[in-house]
Amino acid sequence: MTSATPVQKFPMTADEIDRLVAAFYQRIRAHATLGPVFARAIAPDDGPEWRAHEAKIAAFWRNAVGLDRGYDGNPMRVHVENPQVMPGMFSVWLELFGQTARDVLPSETAARITALAERIGDGMRYAVTQRGQTRGVPPRLH
């Protein structure tokens, strides 16, 4: 059973999430390594597809922080199934995320959401590293 009022992990408003997400994907679009991966998956230029992506990501973060339960996706699978997402990109993504958070949020909030992103990112990076092992080959049991 899910609770109607989830417990918030740390103080952060939906407005702060919106500001972080807008600033982060603005930097992503301009980024030499990450920009092309997103351009291909979302849209080559800023526009309505990007607003839809940012709305989905804001819902993801509101869910992750415990503000609401409006996100119902499977980010792990999305990254594993996108062959352009490589394990070495996670440190770059996380560095850019942390820098953006420090630029647009109060320092304590920036530190908390960056730590959360790092935990989620570590799990995704591991799954991406393993993707060749689990697709189309029998499991290695020992």
> Do residues 112 and 12 lie in contact, with contact meaning Cβ atoms separated by under 8 Å?
yes
Nearer to ligand HEM, 92 or 142 (CB): 92
List of long-range contacts for 24-31, beta carbons under 8 Å, 24+ apart = 24/96, 24/97, 24/100, 24/101, 25/50, 25/53, 25/54, 25/57, 27/96, 27/100, 28/96, 31/92, 31/96
Exactly one of 24, 25, 50, 90 binds ligand HEM (CB under 6 A); that residue is: 90
Site string for ligand HEM, 47-76 (x = CB under 6 A): ---------xx--x------------x-x-
Q: Shortest approach of ligand HEM to residue 93 CB, angstroms? A: 4
Q: Shortest approach of ligand HEM to residue 85 CB, angstroms? A: 5
11 binds ligand HEM (CB under 6 A): no
Please list, residue by residue across 40-74, b when 16 or more beta carbons sit within 10 angstroms of its beta carbon and e when fewer do: eebeeeeeeebeebbeebbbbbbbbbebeeeeeee
Which of 13-21, 44-52, 87-95, 134-142 is the region at the interface with ligand HEM (rule: CB under 6 A)?
A: 87-95
Nearer to ligand HEM, 6 or 127 (CB): 127
Q: Which chain residues interact with ligand HEM by CB under 6 A?
A: 34, 37-38, 41-42, 56-57, 60, 73, 75, 78-79, 82, 85, 89-90, 93, 117, 120-121, 124
